[in-house]
Amino acid sequence: MSGRWLERRKRDYYYKRAKEENYRSRAAYKLKQAVEKYGFIKPGDVVIDLGAAPGGWLQVVREIVGDEGFVLGVDVREVEPLNYENVYIFVGDIMEPSTLERIKAVLPRPADVVLSDVSPSISGVWELDHIRQIELAERSLQIALFTLREGGNTFIKVFWGELFKQFLGKVKAHFNQTRIVKPEASRKESAEVYVLGLGFNKG
Ligand SMILES: C[S@@+](CC[C@H](N)C(=O)[O-])C[C@H]1O[C@@H](n2cnc3c(N)ncnc32)[C@H](O)[C@@H]1O
């Protein structure tokens, strides 16, 4: 059995499971697995989800935070509504300063958790995609620094590569603990990993 064959099987498995369990994306399982292991989202939390379309993570977060929490999703693409009063979604580009202002205006209080699964459209030129992705991850981190409460958490997608260490250093500078997370549902051959920052330190 080749590694590639196993990877394809895994991808198909999560695809089917997402269909059966009514999740909008396979990505839902990446977040589920990470939260099961590290417990960084809790019932009642206020959570921001950057790069939220089509909405798989929003579904998982809503399940965890329940009726008492609040979920805010942002994406450049339209996201089909979730039909919960405490899930708010708007179309916006995280690179635009006005998006941060809109996020702050909508939040009921400083956020407990900021998530980012933002990905650029892939050009196929690895260096370019890596740079673009790191820019998006850095902007996600900045948004986290402006919106999190003291002690809050962040979980940000990054492509592994030359600029990864520098990004990790920036997360370490603001959080009490950091973890590099590769959920089982994330394809092994994919360069994506997630950086988890626990315990925001406003300094
Ligand atoms: C991998 S998908 C997210 C999947 C999502 N976590 C889910 O479970 O359904 C990445 C998203 O990032 C969004 N994105 C890319 N650049 C963005 C930007 N500058 N601002 C906001 N969203 C962006 C894309 O439109 C895309 O929907």
- Tell me which residue range forms the domain holding 24: 3-200
* pLDDT for 39: 98
Q: 109 with 149: CB under 8 angstroms?
A: yes
Kindly report the average pLDDT of the chain as a whole number: 94
Supply the pTM of this predicted model.
0.95
Residue 163: give its domain's CATH number. Answer: 3.40.50.150
Residues acting as catalytic residues? 157
Whether the per-residue pLDDT at 148 is higher than 60: the answer is yes
106 C-alpha vs ligand 1 centroid, how far in Å?
A: 19
Percent of the chain with pLDDT over 90: 83
- Mean pLDDT of the 74-87 span: 97
Counting the structural domains of the chain, the total is: 1
Q: Which residue has the higher pLDDT, 6 or 129?
A: 129
Q: What does the CA dihedral 100, 101, 107, 109 come to, rounded to 10 degrees?
A: 100
Nearest atom (ligand 1) to Cα of 118: 12
Percent of the chain with pLDDT over 70: 99
